[in-house]
Structure 1
């Protein structure tokens, strides 16, 4: 027990091991967002400088205001004896107002919804990258039965293995996510190097112009906001990783994300295409010889993102049970790892939601 506490305390301190664990635990969801965010913003709209520059500008400033300012600089200060999460925050503020349990429950519900929405979106985006391989371009088509079957199969296996815990694969999460972020940074950097003008998208003017002047531009915020889904993990996993590790690792993650988004924008403008079609600009950044490797890394990253959300949902409901916000259902402890739990009924609910 003493060794476990010392190990936990060590990981809370700023260290290489702590940063690596933080990369593996926290950033799966927000880290895999480049797979689908820019594609969602573009949709079926004509490609133009106004849309590309404005979309990237909105993404950059959403990551800055929502994630960096709100979570990394502000919310991380509101820990409850070193622990984070919406119910920890609720425990801190409930003495000031009795009605505060309502936003706490609503916030918890949105986290569960994120746990249902993100796995199918991110895993599907990874698998659909196989469409870029010549021999598979007529087999793997977004939305067809084979693609959906593969995605459902991966997600079903993920939920099936929850009952055994994630002790073994958990050790690999950090290095895999380090490879992922390094990969998306380099892919974006190469495009920015060839088209440095895209750096101007940092100017918030382009984002404001998109929201105000572009037809129905304001409603694009729904797609833009996908870039910050999973940001709540920075706070909810505070007790696992420690404040310093989260703040320092976020610098690396944010730079990697921004360069990848700018790289996607630079590639789009260099193609002089009118419409995007079925092309995913994320995979378009990859040389063809690297595509299969990139898809494999992306698939692992999306599985890690899904696992983080599932584990977070188990923890959330466990806390909700202790506060009488959720029925007293069976809670199991599949391994001897501290804090690792498995809730069979919730596992089924999440699986049904993801497949649906």
Structure 2
């Protein structure tokens, strides 16, 4: 009984988290296809049947087969999404970083349009509805104002966490999908012949039919039915693949019934449409008047849930990108005790501003739909490339070849058909994609170039300075700088190589005497939830080479981990206790800490020129204008010193100057022995 209850609640939560995007597609897919026909007057029965066939088989091929049956198997310790997939295959080929960067950037960019188009489509259903003698909303401006307020409030509440309303998402989405199915069936029973659309040849015939005025480009609107498939894969880590397997048949059935119900309504009323406003939406038009207002209300709620899921998904996506060093470090906050509840202020407000600007620019859902979906086709294409690399070791070469050929071909056709969206506003999301991609390229390849150009002289062996550090620690002539000096740096596990600037900070910039010297390296692993450490004492009791191993989804709060490590080492008599005479905590065994963070600035004394100089400079600019490392390492309430050092890459050799003249030196009397 308990197992069944657990499965039920897991399925309910999945409905609320995973299917928001794809679940609100019925609000605008058929409406977009009507616009492709030139409006209501361009509709024919063959056109409607063909559209339904294309929508159905797109859902089957792209969502069911590619994502549910194949992609969900490519999980990284339960996590899904393009970055989790890249983490699985990044060691196979170096060039795989390119589809990962492009796909991730496009997915983030497409998210700026999704909340705007879903909420606007829902609110437009209120136009012309009267309560008493006065309509609620008359103009598109009023629609936009209501949408603006809803979206702004949605972004404002993110910092408080959404667990308090998230519990209601599942039941509400269950109600939504039931609503889709019921009123799809209500209309379908009046035109059961619409089920002919289940045969794929109707869709293929439409692509070449004279009734189809836009030709193959109609697929750009059809593709809107499956834009949420990538989110389905990305959210796997929140709910588990089993829950998705259990719920997708119900969700898919509800979507298909609703699309076919809209098609049945259109066929039944061909030439006899009664519009209630300047924008015709078959989703609302097919509803009985008695449930129309409820339909608008539940649609708005579903649109808000879809937007919330997308915002949360964006936080998760960025957190993974930061963990894989594809984006600069950002402060991740945890509004609740739930591990899945995160909040990234920079991303939240960037997404908010972009979404509201999109709303102000496009104004109507019709114009948004014309631009929507272009970026996500790029993401799906990139996922296919990465997925084929993953499948190389999992299936035989024939299956992998068929998979790659089929989905690469289909998605290229969808991409080509979506190119018409560029002139209708698709350039907005592409520009955002390019901006995000530029930041990711600068950060990733800037780091690679910096490491490649680093001179061998920049690195020294920590073991060569072991005796010097111990001598400094025991030198009574030098005052104690701090009990525990923590250098946040990178130490090679095998060679003990460390940046020279690290030891320069301790020894040359007025020697820093400490009881214990900590050299802390944070290693990010491909396993999302890795959480362990190793310690190398180098044959001493006061020099600690600490290696932290954290998954790319783990919080990097070094101060919390260090506290546990210190307690473990003292308990095991690895380091000496540090009793404090003056303290508010009697019996305290740990002394005070000071963290040293070294910040690099590109030195003018370097031979790096041209594009390399530009790339390194841009990378340093992004670093200095992104999250403060103090916040990233969770050291806001710790004693921290940030030291700036010059970054020397291919150090320029200054030629020795020729001495020409020395004027008027002071005579120096030298004593000589007789």
TM-score under structure 2 length normalisation: 0.50
- Higher deviation after alignment, 70-79 or 215-224: 215-224
**Bigger mean CA deviation after superposition, 274-283 or 325-334:** 274-283
**Cα drift, residue 280 of structure 1:** 0.8
Cα separation, 2, equivalents of 1:211 and 1:273: 23
Higher relative contact order (CA 8 A, sep 6+): 1
Residue ranges of structure 2 left out of the alignment (5+ in a row): 358-674
1:257–1:327 Cα change, 3 Å: same
Matched, 1:242 2:240: yes
Deviations 1:108-145 (A, max 9, x none): 1122123111111110111011125246669334xx21
2:29 is aligned with 1:37: yes
Query: Is the contact between residue 129 and residue 136 of structure 2 (CA under 8 Å) also seen in structure 1?
Result: no
* Distance in 1 between residues matched to 2:57 and 2:259, nearest whole Å: 12
Q: Equivalents in 2 of 1:194, 1:260: separation in Å? A: 14
Shift of 1:56: 0.8
1:264 aligns with 2:262: yes
Given candidates 199, 222, 226, the residue that maps to 1:203 is 199
1:207-218 equivalences under 5 Å are: 207-213=203-209, 214-218=212-216
Matching residue of 1:56: 52
> How far apart in 2 are the matches of 1:14 and 1:242?
13
1:13-55: CA deviation from partner (whole Å, max 9, x where unpaired): 9711111011011000000100011101111331111221111
The answer to whether structure 1 residue 165 and structure 2 residue 164 are counterparts is: no
- Say if 1:137 and 1:40 are closer, same or farther in 2 by CA, change over 3 A: farther
Match of 2:10 in 1: 18
Q: Does 1:108 align with 2:109?
A: no
What SS does the aligned partner of 1:194 have?
Answer: coil
Match of 2:313 in 1: 312
User: What are the Cα deviations for residues 35-88 of structure 1, in whole angstroms up to 9, with x where unaligned?
Assistant: 011101111331111221111111101100000000000001111122111111
Aligned partners of 1:188 and 1:261 also within 8 Å = yes
Asked whether the equivalents of residues 128 and 137 of structure 2 are also in contact (C-alpha less than 8 Å), the reply is: no
Higher strand fraction (1 or 2) = 2
Quickly say closer, same or farther: Cα 1:73–1:330, change in 2 above 3 A: same
* 1:148 equivalent in structure 2: 144
- Structure with larger Rg: 2
Of 171-180 and 330-339, more deviation after overlay is shown by 330-339
- Mapped to 1, the partners of 2:120 and 2:160 lie a distance apart of 25
User: Corresponding residue for 1:118?
Assistant: 114
- State the 1:163 CA deviation: 0.7
Query: Using the alignment, how far apart are the partners of 2:84 and 2:136 within structure 1?
Result: 49
CA contact (8 A) 2:126 2:136 kept: no
2:243 and 2:296 map into 1 onto residues whose CA distance is: 28
The match for 1:139 is: 137
Alpha-carbon separation, structure 2, partners of 1:193 and 1:251: 21
C-alpha contact 2:322 2:328 (8 A) present in aligned 1: yes
TM superposition shift of 1:323:
1.5
The residue aligned with 1:324 is 325
SS of structure 2 residue aligned to 1:232: helix
Counterpart secondary structure, 1:116: coil
Question: Using the alignment, how far apart are the partners of 2:341 and 2:62 within structure 1?
Answer: 29
**1:218-276 deviation per Cα after TM superposition (whole angstroms, max 9, x unaligned):** 11111111111111122112222122210120000000000100000110111123787
* C-alpha distance 37-137 of structure 1, shift in aligned 2 (>3 A): farther
Q: Give yes or no for contact 2:113–2:355 (8 Å, CA) kept in 1.
A: yes
Deviation at 1:217, TM superposition (A): 2.3
1:184 paired with 2:180, answer yes
Cα distance in 2, alignment partners of residues 216 and 91 from structure 1: 40
Please give the alpha-carbon distance, in whole angstroms, between the structure 1 residues aligned to 2:356 and 2:58: 29
Higher fraction of helix? 1
**Following TM superposition, by how much is the alpha carbon of 1:198 offset from its aligned partner in structure 2, in angstroms?**
0.6
Q: Which residue does the alignment assign to 2:229?
A: 231
Q: Which runs of 5+ in 1 are unaligned?
A: 1-6
CA contact (8 A) 1:182 1:256 kept: yes
1:100/1:200 Cα in 2 relative to 1: closer, same or farther (>3 Å)?
Answer: same
Please state whether the residue corresponding to 1:264 is helix, strand or coil.
helix
SS at match of 1:15: helix
Q: What secondary structure sits across from 2:111 in the alignment?
A: helix
Write the distance in 2 (CA, Å) between the matches of 1:138 and 1:348.
30
* TM-score normalised by L of structure 1: 0.93
What is the rounded CA distance, in whole Å, between the counterparts of 1:100 and 1:42 in structure 2? 39
Structure 1 residues 235 and 187: CA distance shift in structure 2, 3 A = same
Q: Distance in 2 between matches of 1:319 and 1:71?
A: 20
Pairs aligned (count): 345
Moved over 4 A (4+): 134-138, 274-277
Match of 2:250 among 249, 252, 256: 252
